[in-house]
Amino acid sequence: MADSLLLPTFGCGPVRSRSAHAFEGRNGTTVQPPRVTRRRARLAGVAAVAGTLLLTGCGSDDNTGLPGAVDYTSDTIECGPAGTLLASGSTAQANAMEVWANAYMANCDEGQVNYKATGSGAGIQEFLQGTTAFGGSDSRMKDAEIEQSRAVCRDGGRAIHLPMVAGPVAIGYNLPDVDDLVLDADTLALIFDSRITHWDDPAIAELNPDADLPNTRITPFSRSDGSGTTDNFTSYLAASAPDSWPHEPDKVWHGRGGQSADGSSGLVGMVQQNVGAISYFELSYAHENGIPTVLVDTGAGDPVAATVENATTGIAAGEVIGTDGDLAMELDYTTDEPGAYPIVLITYEIMCDRGNDPETLELTLAFLNWTAGEEGQEMITRIDYAAIPDEIITQVRERLDAMT
Report pLDDT digits (tens) over 152-163: 999 999 999 999
> 58 or 294, which is more confident?
294
pLDDT classification of 123: cutoffs 50, 70, 90: very high
Has residue 356 been placed in a domain?
A: yes
Q: What is the CATH number of the domain that holds 361?
A: 3.40.190.10
In a domain, 379, yes or no: yes
- 190 and 161 belong to one structural domain: no
Percent of the chain with pLDDT over 90: 68
Residue 138 CA to chain centroid, in angstroms?
7
Contact status, residue 81 vs residue 348, Cβ threshold 8 Å:
no
Q: Which residue has the higher pLDDT, 61 or 162?
A: 162
Domain presence at residue 369: yes
Asked if residue 150 and residue 179 are part of one domain, the reply reads no
**Would you say residue 32 has pLDDT above 50?**
no
Least confident of 102-116, 295-309, 380-394: 380-394
Q: Which domain does 67 fall in, by range?
A: 3-166+349-401
Which run of H or E residues covers position 362?
helix 361-371
CA distance 393 to 312: 13
3-state DSSP call for residue 279? strand
Q: Binding site residues for phosphate, as ranges?
A: 90-92, 120, 138, 227-229
- Residues 154 and 255 placed together within one structural domain of the fold: no
**Do 20 and 99 sit in the same domain of this protein?**
yes
The verdict on pTM exceeding 0.75 is: no
Domain count, the chain: 2
**How far apart (Å, rounded) are the C-alpha atoms in residues 347 and 393?**
12
Q: Is residue 389 part of a domain?
A: yes
Which of 182, 300, 186 has its CA nearest to residue 243?
A: 186
Pair (213, 160) in one structural domain: no
Contacts of 24 (CB under 8 A, 6+ apart): 15, 16, 17, 18, 54, 65
Q: Do residues 95 and 181 both lie within one domain?
A: no
* 329, part of any domain: no
Claim to verify: residue 281 and residue 252 sit in the same structural domain? yes
Q: Are 179 and 305 in the same domain? A: yes
pLDDT of 42 > 80? The answer is no
Whether 326 is covered by a domain: the verdict is no
Any domain includes 332: no
End-to-end CA distance of the chain: 20
Binding-site residues from annotation: 90-92, 120, 138, 227-229
What pLDDT, in 10s, does the model give residues 292-307? 999 999 999 899 999 9
* Burial of 213 from C-beta contacts in 10 A (0-12 / 13-18 / 19+): middle
Residues 156 and 11 placed together within one structural domain of the fold? yes
Is the domain of 131 the same as that of 223?
no
Residues 36 and 125 both lie in one domain: yes
Evaluate if residue 263 carries a pLDDT over 60: yes
Q: How far is CA 110 from each of CA 104, 191, 219, 234, 359, rounded to the nearest angstrom? A: 11, 50, 48, 42, 15
The confidence band for 220, taking pLDDT boundaries of 50, 70 and 90, is: very high
Asked which of 315, 340, 359 is the last residue of a domain, the reply is: 315
Domain end residue (candidates: 290, 315, 340): 315
Whole-number average pLDDT of the chain: 84
Give the H/E segment covering residue 113. Answer: strand 111-116
**Do 297 and 357 reside in the same domain of the chain?**
no
Q: What pLDDT, on the 0 to 100 scale, is given for residue 49?
A: 34
Would residue 336 count as lying in a domain?
no
